[in-house]
């Protein structure tokens, strides 16, 4: 399929209620409001396709950009291309899902995630924390810099409550991820979660809620999820 053919397909899948919901969350034109399940129908036809994913992301259509994230080849995409992607990721479905998912599956996922966390731009910094969290989720502990991750937990304690809005949300998720994905950091992450307590995030008038890290971690421990890795960050 070509990029133009996919845009035609996306328009056919456009759903008015989905579009209305996504607009409330921060999406803006142009986009059609395609459900993720329908995006995956197209993905079945294209599979991973590096060049096509780049073309789709360049369209500026949010549906196409999200699909590009699902379609991207983590072995072919470069750091500079991902920097371009995150620069154009104008709302959190792109900056905290589509782009970090791809970044976290690359060999340089930790480095680019760490770099992004140091940005003074909210959407880029939040993308960095999400990338680091998912990088831990798709790599075995023996291949991770546990000490670096431990230091990042310390950074969360120091900075979370005076960080930018979506960065607070991403940091909170990072703490949960450390407890779940890295066995050696479960206890420390639980302690950090207790220290930071409830994290206040403006969800832009939507029904979305910020998970209380202590409760989420406790449930993960009870359900035996600690140490379980993901085959892919993307979903």
CA distance 167 to 161: 10
Output the pLDDT for position 208: 87
Residue 49 has pLDDT above 90, yes or no: yes
Average pLDDT, the chain: 97
Give the model confidence (pLDDT) of 35-45 as tens digits: 999 999 999 99
The rounded distance, in Å, linking the Cα atoms of 179 and 5 is 43
Quick check: 119 and 128 in contact, CB under 8 A? yes
Which residue do the tokens 């066995």 mark? Answer: 183
Cis peptide before 22 (omega within 30 of 0): no
The pLDDT value recorded for residue 204 is 85
Strand stretches in the chain, DSSP E: none
Q: Is the pLDDT of residue 206 over 90?
A: no
What is the rounded CA–CA span in Å between residue 214 and residue 197? 8
Mean local confidence (pLDDT), 145-167: 98
Check residue 84 and give its pLDDT. 98
DSSP category for residue 17:
H
- Contact between 32 and 7 under an 8 Å Cβ cutoff? The reply is no
Q: What's the confidence (pLDDT) of residue 189?
A: 98
Measured from the Cβ of residue 129, the count of other Cβ atoms closer than 10 Å reads 31
- Sorting pLDDT into bands at 50, 70 and 90, what band is 207? confident
Q: Which residues contact 68 (CB under 8 A, 6 or more apart)?
A: 53, 54, 56, 57, 85, 98
Give the confidence band of 187 by pLDDT, cuts at 50, 70, 90. very high
Residue 205 has pLDDT above 90, yes or no: no
Nearest CA to 171 out of 137, 139, 210, 130 is that of 130
What is the predicted pLDDT for the residue at 219?
Answer: 97
pLDDT at 138: 98
Residue-range domain boundaries for the chain: 1-73, 92-235
| Residue 143 scores a pLDDT above 90 | yes
C-alpha to C-alpha distances, 107 to 76, 182, 220, nearest whole angstrom: 10, 18, 27
Q: Which residue matches tokens 């549906």? A: 63
**How many residues in the chain?**
235
194: which 2 tokens? 């207790």
φ, ψ for residue 77 (rounded to 5)? Answer: -70, 140
Is the pLDDT at 130 greater than 90? The verdict is yes
The share of the chain scoring above pLDDT 90, in percent, equals 97
Range 179-185 average pLDDT: 98
């Amino acid at each position: 399929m070509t990029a133009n053919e996919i845009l035609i397909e996306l328009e056919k899948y456009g759903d008015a209620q989905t579009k209305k919901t996504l607009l409330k969350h921060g999406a803006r034109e142009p986009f059609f409001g395609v459900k993720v399940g329908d995006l995956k129908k197209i993905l079945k036809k294209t599979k991973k396709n590096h060049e096509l994913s780049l073309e789709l992301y360049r369209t500026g259509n949010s549906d196409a950009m999200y699909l590009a994230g699902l379609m991207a080849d983590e072995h072919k995409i470069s750091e500079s291309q991902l920097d371009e992607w995150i620069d154009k990721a104008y709302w959190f479905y792109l900056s905290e899902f589509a782009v970090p998912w791809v970044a976290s599956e690359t060999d340089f996922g930790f480095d680019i995630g760490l770099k992004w966390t140091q940005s003074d731009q909210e959407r880029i910094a939040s993308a960095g924390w999400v990338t680091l969290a998912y990088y831990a989720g798709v790599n075995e502990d023996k291949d991770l810099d546990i000490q670096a991750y431990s230091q990042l937990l310390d950074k969360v304690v120091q900075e979370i409550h005076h960080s930018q809005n979506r960065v607070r949300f991403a940091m909170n998720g990072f703490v949960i991820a450390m407890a779940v994905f890295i066995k050696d950091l479960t206890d420390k992450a639980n302690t950090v979660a207790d220290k930071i307590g409830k994290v206040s995030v403006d969800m832009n008038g939507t029904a979305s809620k910020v998970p209380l890290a202590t409760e989420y971690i406790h449930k993960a421990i009870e359900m035996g999820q600690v140490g379980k890795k993901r085959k892919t960050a993307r979903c």
